[in-house]
Amino acid sequence: MDSRRDFLQKLTLGIGATALTDLPATARELYSGPKADKQLRVAIMGLGSYGTRVAEAMKDCKMATLVGAVSGTPAKLEDWKKKYNIPAKNTYNYETVSKIKDNPDIDLVYITTPNSLHYKHVLQIAAAGKHVLCEKPVADNAKQTREMIAVCEKAGVKFYIGYRMHFEPHTRELIRMREAGELGKIMHVNNYMGFKSGDPNQWRLKKALAGGGAMMDVGIYALNGARYATGEEPIWVTAQETKTDPVKFKEVDETIMFQLGFPSGVVASCGTTYNFNNYERLYVIGEKGFVELSPAFSYGPIKGRTHNGPMNQPVITHQTLQMDGIADIILNNKPDPNVSGAEGLKDMIVVDALYESIRKGGAKIMLAGK
């Protein structure tokens, strides 16, 4: 398997007609009816594989519509103008993107550029007065994230993170069961996410662009999953790194095992890797029952079971749900399912502590006051 994209795409199920026939009536109606009268007008910044995935998913959105694109590659902009019917006046490169402030036809910019560019690009878009949706991880560290939040607040724009799982039906059902007390007191969480990284020249293996390795890229899923599985914030962490290929992974981490301790006494045992496949699961054990999702974090279809039997939630393209969900939050003032910049900051505080633990030989790092 050559890349994270190949790994995630292997598990992808689109929202075509075949998928729709398997959905409950309410879901079929949502994604077969007319588009909403009021729509969030979106430009995508960074036209790589993930930006393209979002663009394709948005074809089925009812409350969000793709109207703009930002790229440093002229050929990509030309292709997107034709493929997605984007007006030339709504396309920008990285040198001209500040001019987006003068374009009243764009409401929000979705930043899908490499991780370490998020900080710079969020500040640019906020300065242009547009709402911001930024792919995770939000930044290289908590310090950058705090500044990003402050700049967006000062500019009066909304700032959200691409936590698509917070809109995914199986994940939402897990959270509902936990909040309803159907699992009882949470006793243990076991989460992991990883894959075998292929191309040694890809940007994800270059710290200047990626910020970190497996932990930043896909370990963030296991970390965020532990937080929504418990409904708590960790108060201590420990982490250990192993590296089997010090040449390929010279600049970034390869495999990290980490533990999160929560106020209730729950300990989450988590892991992430760039070294092997078939490593993806979220398992929550409570006094009254359990939830297991596997696959748990990839593009889908997510599959799950509980102490009551198999889960049977709708299968809808995650990015479609996410973009309509963000539109609903902004346009209709709907509740935020924990996808704000503040949610991203909570994860980055923990990520900083995990890397600190590794530097200190796996020492327990307390999070109080961080």
| Percent of the chain scoring above 90 in pLDDT | 89
Cis previous bond, 246, omega within 30:
no
Q: Return the higher-pLDDT residue of 5 and 349.
A: 349
**Averaged pLDDT for residues 228-234:** 98
Residue 18, pLDDT above cutoff 60: no
User: What pLDDT is stored for residue 24 in this prediction?
Assistant: 39
Q: Return the higher-pLDDT residue of 31 and 234.
A: 234
Q: Class assignment of domain 166-310+341-366?
A: alpha beta
CA distance 156 to 326: 17
pLDDT in tens, 146-193: 999 999 999 999 999 999 999 999 999 999 999 999 999 999 999 999
Residue 290, pLDDT above cutoff 80: yes
Which one of 62, 76, 130, 136 is the catalytic residue? 136
Which one of 110, 119, 192, 221 is the catalytic residue? 221
User: What pLDDT is stored for residue 32 in this prediction?
Assistant: 62
For the question of residue 130 being annotated catalytic, the response is no
Cis previous bond, 301, omega within 30:
yes
CATH 3.40.50.720 for the 4-164 domain, yes or no: yes
**Averaged pLDDT for residues 344-351:** 98
Band the pLDDT of 3: cuts 50, 70, 90.
low
For 160-172, the DSSP string reads EE--GGGG-HHHH
Residue 29, pLDDT above cutoff 60: no
Return the exposure string of 43-60: e unless at least 16 CB atoms fall within 10 Å of the residue's CB, then b. Answer: bbbbbbebbbbbbbbbeb
Q: Which amino acid is at 354?
A: L
**CA-angle at 52, arms to 194 and 33, nearest 5°:** 105
Where exactly are the structural domains of the chain?
4-164, 166-310+341-366
User: What pLDDT is stored for residue 35 in this prediction?
Assistant: 86
Residue 227, pLDDT above cutoff 60: yes
- Token pair recorded at residue 114: 């490499």
Band the pLDDT of 100: cuts 50, 70, 90.
very high
Asked if residue 65 lies in contact with residue 86, where contact means CB atoms within 8 angstroms, the answer is no
| Cβ partners under 8 Å of residue 31, min gap 6 | 15, 20, 23, 60, 62, 316, 320
**Averaged pLDDT for residues 68-80:** 98
User: What pLDDT is stored for residue 300 in this prediction?
Assistant: 80
pLDDT in tens, 250-282: 999 999 999 999 999 999 999 999 999 999 999
Which of 32-41, 99-108, 121-130, 266-275 shows the lowest per-residue confidence on average (mean pLDDT)? Answer: 32-41
For the question of residue 136 being annotated catalytic, the response is yes
Q: What is residue 270's three-state secondary structure?
A: strand
**Averaged pLDDT for residues 82-96:** 98
How confident is the prediction for the chain on average, in pLDDT? Answer: 92
Asked if residue 367 lies in contact with residue 354, where contact means CB atoms within 8 angstroms, the answer is no
**Is the pTM here over 0.85, yes or no?**
yes
